[in-house]
Amino acid sequence: SAVFNWEDPLAASELFTEEELAIQDTARQYCQEKLMPRVLEAYRNEDYDRRILEEMGELGLLGASIDGYGCAGVSTVASGLITKEVERVDSGYRSGMSVQSSLAMTGIYEFGTEEQKQRFLPGLASGKLAGCFGLTEPNHGSDPGSMETVAREHPTQKGTYLLTGSKTWITNSPIADLHLVWAKLDGKIRGFVIERSKCPAGTFETPAIKNKSALRASITGMIQMDDCPVPVENMLPDVEGLTGPFTCLNSARLGIAFGSMGALEDCLTRARDYSLERKQFKGNPLAKYQLIQKKLADAATDAAYGTLAAVQVARLKDAGKATPEMISMIKRQNCDRALHNSRILQEVFGGNAASDEYHIGRHVANLFVVQTYEGQSDIHALILGRAITGKQAFV
């Protein structure tokens, strides 16, 4: 007969294939054995270990849903489960993986020439090359369509573009070998793959943004371009306009819908363990008190609902039936619920929540950023509002 499992309350695992379950196991084992032991020091010291990308590459975790070019070609659900396992440890580690896989690799895979795919994707899939995605600018975050970064034809060298402008808050930019940068050419947004090693001195800089108050286990920086030369062979030929970056964002946002549920589940597990051990008032464990149980029940419910919704949209995506609005809905809802519940679960730890060794404060701080990047939650509300009413409220 059926048994209730608090770790998978609505039996989402019944929806996974054998292969997806095996991939989830592999990812969980790697994350718990190799990432978990490093996260505390990485977060304290803002020290992202570049080798993580190669370790993930060896296990086939990068660009996992892409077919060919050294990628595993797994289902979108399997790719989401990988994301969930990484974010169970830390949203910053998931960030490093997301920009490599969903943003840089997806852009090249969807819109690159065959030659570009052959040239860039295998190195990114193995983690030997690090990638990043430059859309946000100092003056344009939620409104990337107003970007100021421009590309112009080189006045004398045919077949070369010169890029000028700056991008900010770019995950992986200080360590990336390949930078997928979006810039306006004759007023239209185009994608360019900038190879750091080929940029002349003084044309391309990627300073790190230090002293972050969240996502400290990932590395973030700027991309500053001053007439940086990029050959036409490195421009993505098959897309212009915001459809280019947003197609990549659709993939990354779906990943975040899974990932944020991993972070929330970790908060829940830790709060449950703590509440069973900690005793207050006549030797009772906190877990015996109704107010504590409500916090756990709320978090478990939101994590279970959020996971099911993410699985549904991932299956629709593989069937060619997912829409960007569906992805906005689950990105927004799962991030909002993960942040809300993690903040409530933090209370279970009392003063100990202030010690980083309990990990809960790190998740809470990270989840604020996860709710903000890839479209802040209110922006996704406006995307949904536009779809519901036919009227856009951005401007």
- Positions annotated as catalytic residues are 374
The smaller minimum CB distance to ligand FAD, of residues 301 and 377, is found at: 377
d(CA 197, CA 366): 32
CA nearest neighbour of 219 among 50, 10, 377, 9: 50
Based on CB atoms, which residue is closest to ligand FAD, 1 or 213?
213
Among residues 297 and 393, whose Cβ is nearest to ligand FAD?
A: 393
Sequence-ordered alpha helix ranges (H) in 175-220: none
Query: Which of the choices ligand TGC, ligand FAD, none does residue 247 contact, using the CB cut-off of 5 to 8 A by kind?
Result: ligand TGC
Which residues form the interface with ligand TGC (CB under 6 A)? 95, 98-99, 133, 135-136, 142-145, 171, 241-243, 246-247, 249-250, 252, 324, 373-375, 379, 383, 394
Task: Enumerate binding residues for ligand FAD (CB under 6 A).
Answer: 99, 133-136, 141-142, 169-171, 215, 220, 369, 372-374, 376, 378-379, 394
> Which of ligand FAD, ligand TGC, none is residue 242 near (CB under 5 to 8 Å by kind)?
ligand TGC
We find the least distance from the C-beta atom of residue 358 to ligand FAD, in angstroms, to be: 23
Residue 169 CB, shortest distance to ligand TGC, in Å, is: 7
Q: Which is nearer to ligand TGC, 112 or 375 (CB)?
A: 375
Instruction: Give the amino acid at 334.
Output: N
In sequence order, the 6+-apart residues with CB closer than 8 A to the CB of 73 are: 64, 65, 66, 67
Name the minimum Å distance from CB 95 to ligand FAD.
6
Closer to ligand TGC by CB, 6 or 394: give it: 394
* From ligand FAD, ligand TGC, none, interface partner of 183 (C-beta below 5 to 8 A by class): none
Name the residue type at position 363. Answer: H
378 interacts with, out of ligand FAD, ligand TGC, none, CB within 5 to 8 A per kind: ligand FAD
Strand 188-195 vs strand 160-171: parallel, antiparallel, or unpaired? unpaired
Among 126, 26, 20, residue whose Cα is nearest residue 69: 126
Phi, psi of 224 (to 5 degrees): -115, 120
Coil, helix or strand at residue 156? coil
238 in Cβ contact with 312 (< 8 Å)? no
Q: Tell me how many degrees the CA angle 141-42-169 measures, rounded to the nearest 5.
A: 10
- C-alpha distances in angstroms, 366 versus 5, 260, 278, 385? 27, 10, 26, 27
Least separation, in Å, of the C-beta of 102 and ligand TGC? 8
Whose CB is nearest to ligand FAD?
141
Q: What are the beta bridge partners of residue 68?
A: 71
Q: Which is nearer to ligand FAD, 68 or 138 (CB)?
A: 138
* Positive/negative CA dihedral, 47, 53, 54, 60: positive
CB closer to ligand FAD out of 293 and 376: 376
| Residue number, 138 or 241, with CB nearest to ligand TGC | 241
Residue 98 binding partner per list ligand FAD, ligand TGC, none, with a CB distance cut-off of 5 to 8 Å that depends on partner kind: ligand TGC
> Residue 243 binds what, of ligand FAD, ligand TGC, none (CB under 5 to 8 Å, by partner type)?
ligand TGC
Nearest approach, Cβ of 272 to ligand TGC (angstroms)?
28
264 binds, among ligand FAD, ligand TGC, none (CB under 5 to 8 A by kind): none
Report CA dihedral (41, 42, 46, 48) to the nearest 10 degrees: 160
Q: How far apart are CA 104 and CA 127, in angstroms?
A: 12
Q: Minimal distance in Å, beta carbon 173 to ligand TGC? A: 11
- 383 contacts which partner out of ligand FAD, ligand TGC, none, CB within 5 to 8 A by kind? ligand TGC
Burial track 40-72 (b if 16+ CB lie within 10 A, e otherwise): eebbeebebbeebbeebbebbbbbbbbeebebb
CB of 270 to ligand FAD, least distance (A): 23
CA proximity to 259, closest of 28, 128, 102, 82: 82
- Please state the closest distance from residue 297 (CB atom) to ligand TGC, in A: 30
| 266-272-276 Cα angle (round to 5) | 150
